[in-house]
Amino acid sequence: MNRALTWHDLLIAGGAVVIGLAAGLLLRIALRWLGERATRTRWGGDDIIVGALRLLAPWGAFAIGASAAAAALPLTPTVGHNVNQVLVALLILAATFAAARVIADLVQSVTLSRSAVAGSATIFVNITRVTVLAIGVLVLLQTLGVSIAPLLTALGVGGLAVALAMQDTLANLFAGVHILVSKTVQPGDYIRLSSGEDGYVVDINWRNTVVRQLSDNLVIIPNSKLASTIMTNYHRPEQQMSLLIQVAVGYGSDLDQVEQVTKEVADKIMSEVAGGVPDHESLVRFHTFTEAGIGFTVILRALEFGDQYLIKHEFIKALYGRYRAEGIEIPVPGRTVIMRRQENATIPRPRQEQREQG
């Protein structure tokens, strides 16, 4: 110290700290109010900016107040330098977290806008966040006077050992990146694997893919398994899908009438049931002579995979009622057996009976 510490110095330093804390609190309240207003706008960038400022501004106000308090105290050059270093480190950490949040949110916004789905692919967000935080830590160490060259060398040498020890994790990471970049699967798609699992893709993170089944159960699939399996994507190249329903009528039916009635029912279902495609021209195609009657396929159209169940439900009910009204027979599976008896045929007797009579 260049001089003795007085109550006046403590009062000024305490006032500077209190002012810094009060300013940080007021900034946080003001930015929260701005955040509520930003959520009501169409542009999503203002939400990202306000969120970053809410994290950075209070810490900046506190650091300024603490720096003013340190300047008011009669500190030695060494202590003053250490205090300034701590405050600078605090600001760098706050700026690093704010930058990581801003860049991660921007990456997520770009991902969602390009995939046009409601879910999120967190793998890119996590990679971006970790990269920004790592750069911030290196900048912090360099600012504090710690040489990062030996650290980078050690990381380069140790990276090989880490890669060998984390082969499965890295395989899942790169498989997830490959899946998203190739756009074979995106969050929101309905997929079915060759092993039988199916559902909507909820998220693709750095290790696995989360699939939500229609029963609301979650299936966790490692990215490496998903990338190597045979898979059907019901949302690619488009979400609309053809819906094939098998029907049969009796042999005594007028096929022209059957086709006309069936198409009328199908067109009505397409225009009235949610999930149908109103401008789709329904098709009827006869294809098989069965033991009970004539089989044919009705081709409908659904907006997406989950809509097919309601369309089938309503179509079968409406078609059954219309067939009954029109007198069109719906065959019951069965088999007719015809037995013929020859009147003069000799029925052989068992050999034991023949020997007794002989």
Q: Taking the complete model, does pTM exceed 0.85, yes or no? A: no
pLDDT of residue 131: 83
Asked if 173 contacts 132 with a C-beta cutoff of 8 angstroms, the reply is no
Residue written as tokens 């966790």? Answer: 220
Q: Note the pLDDT tens digit of each residue in 84-137.
A: 778 778 878 888 887 887 777 777 776 666 544 434 556 677 777 888 888 888
Which distant-in-sequence residues (6+ apart) come within 8 Å of 55 by Cβ?
94, 97, 98, 101
The band of 331, judged by pLDDT with boundaries at 50, 70 and 90, is confident
The predicted-structure confidence for 140-197, as pLDDT tens digits, reads as follows 777 777 777 776 676 665 666 665 666 777 788 888 888 877 778 888 899 999 888 9
Report the pLDDT value the prediction gives residue 117, as an integer from 0 to 100. 41
Ranges of H-type helices in the chain: 7-38, 45-72, 77-115, 122-143, 149-165, 167-182, 223-228, 255-272, 308-326, 351-357
Say yes or no to pLDDT of 263 above 50: yes
**C-alpha distances in angstroms, 247 versus 270, 292, 307?**
17, 12, 20
- pLDDT digit string, tens, across residues 209-256: 999 998 889 999 999 888 888 999 998 888 899 999 999 999 989 999
Nearest to 325 by CA among 264, 269, 283, 244: 264
Rounded-to-integer distance, Cα 244 and Cα 157, Å: 59
- Rounded CA-CA distance 101/115 in Å is 21
Which residues, including other chains, have CB under 8 Å from residue 223's CB and lie 6 or more apart? 171, 172, 173, 175, 176, 179, 204, 207, 208, 209
Residue with tokens 């309601």: 310
Separation between Cα atoms, residue 13 and residue 11, nearest integer Å? 6
At residue 358, the pLDDT reads: 45
pLDDT at 178: 82
Whether the pLDDT of residue 73 is over 90: the answer is no
Highest mean pLDDT among 53-57, 111-115, 346-350: 53-57
DSSP code at position 333: P
Q: Give one word for 250, left, alpha or beta, with left for phi > 0 and alpha for psi -120 to 50.
A: beta
Give the span between the Cα atoms of 91 and 140, in whole angstroms. 10
Q: Which two three-digit tokens encode residue 124?
A: 């890119």
Model confidence over 16-38: pLDDT tens digits? 778 877 877 887 788 777 777 76
SS3 assignment, position 152: helix
Q: How sure is the predictor about 259, in pLDDT bands with cuts at 50, 70 and 90?
A: very high
